């Protein structure tokens, strides 16, 4: 007998319910953001390892997130979203403890690095568990018709937390040493565990569970479009500083600030357009704006025009993830919703992983301005694929 659906809440009650759940995403990404700007310097300067090793330590977290996606989806579907988040928070707690232990072992650099790496891997797995768990919980709480709103608020929580965490982590290390980050991670995870303890969860959806790779196959066309469009994000965040230097400009940080502000404001202002016009139409419109922004960055004659390009890119990218996500999740049953969200997230992870080496090779051979031209071409390819998917689905 099918399990009764949770009654849909009133529209006025939807946003507070979503925010109360994505709060745990905010905590997770605040913990990710705190060490992100200071970890490479710590590994290089304090422990004495090369810049390559420092980069590998940073990258290990994202690799752990990518590889743990199938597990995160399966756990969300089978043991429940709340328990998945609790496991993720426990991972952050242990990551904080290991970070603190690694500082105490600084006199043994290789052992300290190994312990620190273990903490990074735990943080990466926690990111996957909490990211999938919170969105799936939101969808179960407020209804699948509010999928776009759930995904969007989760993104706002994650991007906002990293924006706050990165400069805060720098200040903490300057004033209290690197050990303070380990204490902060453990304390915030412990606080979140106390808060989530009495929060009612949604029941596990009963029904046939599709294997992850079966879900992956259904999601793949939508994920491929997401990856192609998201490479522009990875390109901008990775290379904007070097692009400014190559042009003899200053103020690359303002470019990232404009991008972030436009991204978040666009999500807040236009999120209802997905339910109003549909996921495909919203994604197509956003990809057109993103392409225009990337072309402006490619052709920018001054830093001012680069700011305009970054702003348009932020506006364009803001709704691509939730808009395509709405259509992607329709391809899997509710009983495999967590697996669907995990499979979809894999493609965004891949886009960020590909953007660095791919655009680095372009910059090496053609110059930094051409990375934005190539990103624009990939965005146009994503647009074409989305149009095909729209036609195939009769939307």
Structural domains of the chain in order of their starting residue, each with its CATH number = 11-196 (1.20.1250.20), 212-392 (1.20.1250.20)
Most confident of 7-21, 120-134, 279-293: 279-293
- Candidates 348, 226, 353; CA nearest to 287 is 226
* Per-residue pLDDT at 375 exceeds 80: yes
pLDDT digits (tens, 9 = 90+) for 310-344: 999 999 998 998 899 889 888 888 777 777 888 88
Residue 368 — very low, low, confident or very high, per pLDDT cuts 50/70/90? confident
What is the structure's pLDDT at 203? Answer: 66
For a pLDDT cut of 90, what percent of the chain falls above it? 33
For a pLDDT cut of 70, what percent of the chain falls above it? 94
What is the structure's pLDDT at 2? Answer: 42
Residue found by looking up tokens 């709405």 in the block:
326
What is the structure's pLDDT at 223? Answer: 92
pLDDT, mean of residues 15-42: 86
pLDDT, mean of residues 95-109: 93
* Per-residue pLDDT at 63 exceeds 70: yes
Q: Which of 165-169, 228-232, 372-376 has the lowest mean pLDDT?
A: 165-169
Residue 307 — very low, low, confident or very high, per pLDDT cuts 50/70/90? very high
- Supply the pTM of this predicted model: 0.77
Instruction: Give the chain's mean pLDDT.
Output: 85
* Per-residue pLDDT at 75 exceeds 80: yes
* Per-residue pLDDT at 8 exceeds 70: no
What is the structure's pLDDT at 205? Answer: 65
What is the structure's pLDDT at 5? Answer: 46
What is the structure's pLDDT at 284? Answer: 95
Q: Does residue 133 contact residue 72 with C-beta atoms inside 8 Å? A: yes
What is the structure's pLDDT at 359? Answer: 86
What is the structure's pLDDT at 6? Answer: 47
What is the structure's pLDDT at 1? Answer: 39
- Candidates 259, 204, 267, 213; CA nearest to 75 is 204
What is the structure's pLDDT at 209? Answer: 67
What is the structure's pLDDT at 395? Answer: 59
> Which pairs from 12-19 meet CB under 8 Å and 24+ separation?
14/142, 14/146, 14/149, 15/149, 15/153, 17/138, 17/141, 17/142, 18/138, 18/141, 18/142, 18/146, 18/149, 18/150, 18/153, 19/153
pLDDT, mean of residues 200-228: 80
Q: Does residue 132 contact residue 76 with C-beta atoms inside 8 Å? A: yes
């Amino acid at each position: 007998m099918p399990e009764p659906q949770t009654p849909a809440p009133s529209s006025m009650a939807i946003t507070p319910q979503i925010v109360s759940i994505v709060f745990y995403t905010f905590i997770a990404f605040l913990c990710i953001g705190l060490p992100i700007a200071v970890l490479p310097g710590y590994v290089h300067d304090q422990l004495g390892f090369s810049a390559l090793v420092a980069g590998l330590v940073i990258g290990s977290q994202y690799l752990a997130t990518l590889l743990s996606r199938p597990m995160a989806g399966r756990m969300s579907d089978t043991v429940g979203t709340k328990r998945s988040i609790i496991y993720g928070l426990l991972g952050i707690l242990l990551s904080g403890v290991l970070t603190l232990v690694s500082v105490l072992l600084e006199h043994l650099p290789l052992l300290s690095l190994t312990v620190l790496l273990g903490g990074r891997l735990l943080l990466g797995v926690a990111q996957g568990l909490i990211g999938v768990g919170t969105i799936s919980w939101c969808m179960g709480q407020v209804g699948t018709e509010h999928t776009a709103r759930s995904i969007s608020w989760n993104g706002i929580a994650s991007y906002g937390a990293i924006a706050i965490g990165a400069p805060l982590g720098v200040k903490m290390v300057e004033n209290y040493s690197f050990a303070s980050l380990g204490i902060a991670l453990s304390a915030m995870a412990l606080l979140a565990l106390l808060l989530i303890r009495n929060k009612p969860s949604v029941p596990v959806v009963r029904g046939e569970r599709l294997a992850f790779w079966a879900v992956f196959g259904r999601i793949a066309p939508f994920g491929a479009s997401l990856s192609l469009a998201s490479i522009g994000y990875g390109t901008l965040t990775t290379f904007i500083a070097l692009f400014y230097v190559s042009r003899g400009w200053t103020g690359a940080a303002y470019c990232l600030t404009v991008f972030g502000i436009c991204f978040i404001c666009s999500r807040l202002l236009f999120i209802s357009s997905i339910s109003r016009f549909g996921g495909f139409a919203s994604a197509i419109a956003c990809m057109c704006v993103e392409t225009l922004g990337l072309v402006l960055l490619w052709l920018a004659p001054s830093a001012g025009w680069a700011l305009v390009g970054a702003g348009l890119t932020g506006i364009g990218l803001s709704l691509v993830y939730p808009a395509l996500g709405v259509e992607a999740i329709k391809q899997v049953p509710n009983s495999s919703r967590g697996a669907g969200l995990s499979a979809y997230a894999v493609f965004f992870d891949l886009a960020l992983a590909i953007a660095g080496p791919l655009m680095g090779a372009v910059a090496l051979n053609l110059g930094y301005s051409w990375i934005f031209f190539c990103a624009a071409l990939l965005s146009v390819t994503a647009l074409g694929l989305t149009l095909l998917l729209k036609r195939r689905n009769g939307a």
